[in-house]
Amino acid sequence: MGADSESPTVRDQFRQFFALERDVLVLSLAMFAFSLGFQMTGRYLPEYMTALGASGFVIGLFGTVGNVISALYPYPGGAISDRLGSRYALTVFGLVSTLGFAIWLVAPNIGTITLGGVVVEPWLWIFVGLVFAQAWKSFGLGATFAVVKQATDPSRLASGFASTETFRRIAFLVGPVLAAVLIGLHSDFTVSFQYVLAVGLAVGLLGTVVQHVLYDASEDSFGDSFDGIDQIRRDLREMPTELRPLLVADTLVRFANGMVYVFFVLVVTQFYAVGFDASGSLAGFGYDVSLSPAAFFGYLLGVEMLVALLTMVPAARIAERVGLKPVVALGFAVYGIFPVVLIAGPDALSSVVPLQWAMVVIFAFSGLRFAGLPSHKALIVGPAEQGAGGRVTGTYYLLRNTVVIPSAALGGYLWDFVSPEAAFTLAAVVGLVGTGYFLVFGKEFDAYA
């Protein structure tokens, strides 16, 4: 990822990836394993909860609990890593996350039970599993940003992040497609999704074992205990001022996305209830494809991520010519408009193409959201002083994710008690306001100016 390399291809990104130091490579492989597990399972959990009897509002609350965990886990996760060392912290987090997959797997078998006079519905165990399953994510967010910043020339940060994102996003492509294949094995979604969860659990165990065995702990450092609220306040005060407009805009865009993200699967499987059917012949061979709405959703996510993989590296290269801000703004704009495109677009396009192909087009458009992700990350960590990238990143995400916490609950309330259209339309309005704010007030990173 040096400054002197010419236009890198996807092949170059992988060559650079496998040239990384051993421990960074091991960490990245573990990230791939857990990303695969989460992408196989996470996007389907709202449908799973519906099958277990949860309402739309409960699903919104589930999204909000996920937001709480995303906001609160990184700081204690970093403190635990400092005290135990990276190797043992990674192992503990991996085992805890795998336990979360196991809880999701057995939730239907537990059924409705009574504890202390309180009736516990099966879907409540999905909340319990989430608390454990997201543990591995508490490690490495700031560290990953800091490693890329230290290894990359400032003017090539977007390309540096594109290298790591290209590898990690392969799991985002493979996971949903593999889930779709497994879901097609049984007509009962609850049963077929348990197949998916079983594979996710196995991948989590494998990732945990691999990282524990291959990680070299000889260079691990053991820090002091976490300084608590005073450290958080100090990091907030020291956040680069250039990040503030980006943080405000990003928070609005992510709040909008958080309102409806957990309902994407329900739009396909329930609101439109659209599967995929095709038959014909190709090169003399006949084919007959019939996918349930749930299985079709997995392939739609695959289309979305394929577009993301094809556009991230070119977008990073474009950012080196036109600056980070325009590329980030494009990503924000797609984030902002996508909710209304998803909820209203299929009907609008169905007069031109069949509904199933309208969904393919819409999710391909959604993949453009990720084109600006490497530039977005570069814009976050770029202004940080050398050696402070992890702290700056942690502070940024702590603020953003804390504000975003209630978004899914709001979206769930609107979905359940007003209408899905109201939830998705309001989300689009909030997202576009955030995009406009960034276009007016956002700052460019000097190395790209």
Integer angstrom CA distances of residue 343 from 332, 339, 347 = 18, 6, 8
The pLDDT of residue 368 = 95
pLDDT of residue 415: 97
Q: Residue 409, Cβ neighbours under 10 Å: how many?
A: 21
Q: Is 116 left (phi over 0), alpha (psi -120 to 50) or beta?
A: left
The pLDDT of residue 217: 59
Report the alpha-carbon distance of residue 40 to residue 197 in Å, rounded.
8
Q: pTM of the full predicted structure?
A: 0.85
**By C-alpha distance, which of 292, 287, 304, 295 is closest to 360?**
304
User: What pLDDT is attached to residue 5?
Assistant: 45
The domain spans of the chain are 10-214+239-448
Q: Specify the pLDDT at position 160.
A: 58
Mean pLDDT of the chain: 83
pLDDT at 223: 46
pLDDT given for residue 49 in this prediction: 97
Distance of CA 424 to the CA centre of its chain: 19
Instruction: Write down the pLDDT at residue 150.
Output: 54
75 vs 90: CA distance, rounded Å: 15
Structure tokens at 31: 């990230």
The per-residue DSSP string of 154-166 comes to: GGGHHHHHHHHHH
Fold (CATH) for 10-214+239-448: Growth Hormone; Chain: A; (1.20.1250)
pLDDT less than 70: residues of the chain: 1-28, 74-86, 138-167, 215-229, 231-232, 382-394, 446-449
Q: Could you tell me if 346 and 338 are in contact, meaning their C-beta atoms sit under 8 angstroms apart?
A: no
pLDDT score, position 148: 55
- The confidence score (pLDDT) of residue 283 equals 74
Give the whole-angstrom CA distance, residue 62 versus residue 53.
13
List alpha helices for 111-156, DSSP H: 124-133, 141-151
Task: Say if CB 160 and CB 307 are below 8 A apart.
Answer: no
